[in-house]
Structures are given as structure tokens and as C-alpha cells.
Amino acid sequence: MPTVAINWGFLSTTFVLSADPFLLGMRRYPAKKLCSPPFTLGEPISGFGITVVLHSEVPGVDVGRYLYGCSMWLLFTQHHKWVVFQEYMVFPELSPLTILGKHPDLPWTAYIGAAGMPGRVMQFIHFQYDSGEVAFVTTGAGAVGLCVSHAPDLPTAKLKYPAQDGYSAHKEGGYEGDCVRGETLTI
């Protein structure tokens, strides 16, 4: 275990990392502008993962606790990496990480798979959107689309799937690389 000042934070080690498809879009030259920031050459990459607390000076964050986190929230809003793909990390506080309670029938990898990013997106769409709002799902073939489209019975926003002609996220959303064209269908 490394000797490092944690300054009233906590030290954790990487337990499980997620290799999500969106990470591919972050492997690019910085000059190419997309909706996500690029990785920096020579720096650890960041994304979703589970860490285990090794030493803590934060009340409520006990040694041995498993934490789930995504660096993307801070990466997009405050340009700071949290869960980086490296062996040890020092965190100043718990937020935006989540303390995990392991379900006995689920492997840890499920928390970064279907119960991870795709499941959290589905949860956000179904519980944060008001009835009558619209959520665009570009495809039902990916992990997020499958989770979202397989829970249509919940009171939620309308789900819209682009089909052959009509909707362009590139034009309407302003993001290069997110260029889906198709007719918008209400499900």
C-alpha cells in the first residue's frame, strides 16, 4: 500500500473497471470536438468502476466498503477525474461515489454492467423525467437502449427511437459524431 497524504479524504484501490463502448469516442486527437472530452496521452483513463476503501478519514466511509463511481460527472462539469483506471486513488469526499451493498445473487461485474451505466441511464429516464417529456434512444441494440426499452411499463417520459428519415442529433443537438438520421417514433 502506498504512503500518501490523504488530507481528510480516503484511499481506495481499484476492484473492477468497466470497458464501456463510449470510451472509444474519447480516444481521439484533442482538436476533434465531440460531446465528451478526449483522453490525455500519458494520463490514466477514467470511467465507471468499483473501488475498495483501504484507509479513510471521512465519516461514514469505512475501510473495506465497496464504492461505485463514474468520473464522467466531474469530467464534464468540473474537469476533474475521479475514478481513474489506476491501482490506487485518493478521494477528498464520498460524492459522487455510491456505497454499494452487494446483492448475494449478483456478481460484482453486474454493478458495472447492466446494473451500472446502462441501468442508471434507464433509472434516470424512468424516474427523473416527468410524464410527457421525451427521451431519445438512438438504438435499442446497445446496452442502454436495451435497458430503457425493456422497462416501458413504468410511468415515464415518452421514448422516441429514430428510424429511417428525419431526426438528426448532429443538427438538433450540435454534436459531431452523434449523427443519427431517422423518423422520430413515439413508443
Domains and CATH numbers, the chain: 10-100 (3.90.180.10), 115-186 (no CATH)
Q: Note the pLDDT tens digit of each residue in 120-140.
A: 777 666 666 666 666 666 666
pLDDT the model gives residue 161: 57
Range in 36-50, 86-100, 154-168, 171-185 with the lowest mean pLDDT:
171-185
Place 18 in a pLDDT band, splitting at 50, 70 and 90: confident
pLDDT at 88: 85
- Work out the percent of the chain whose per-residue pLDDT is above 90: 7
CA distance 51 to 64: 10
Please tell me the predicted confidence (pLDDT) of residue 23. Answer: 76
Residue found by looking up cell 483513463 in the block? 45
> What is the torsion angle, in degrees rounded to the nearest 10, for the CA atoms of residue 17, residue 23, residue 29 and residue 33?
-130
Q: What DSSP line would sit under the chain, residue for residue?
A: ------TTSEEEEEEEE---GGGGGGSS-TTS--SSPPPPTTSPPB-EEEEEEEEE-STT--TT-EEEEETHHHHHHT----SBSSSEEEESSSTT-EEE---TTS-GGGGTTTTTHHHHHHHHHHHHSPTT-EEE-S-SSSHHHHHHHT-TTSS-PEEEEEEEEEEEHHHHH--TT---EEEEEE-
Q: According to the per-residue pLDDT averaged within each range, which of 3-12, 16-25, 45-54, 60-69 is highest?
A: 60-69
- Write down the pLDDT at residue 42: 81
Mean pLDDT score of the chain = 70
Instruction: Give residue-wise pLDDT tens across range 74-112.
Output: 444 444 444 667 888 888 888 778 888 888 888 888 888
Is the preceding omega at residue 96 within 30 degrees of 0, hence cis?
Answer: yes
Global pTM reads 0.63
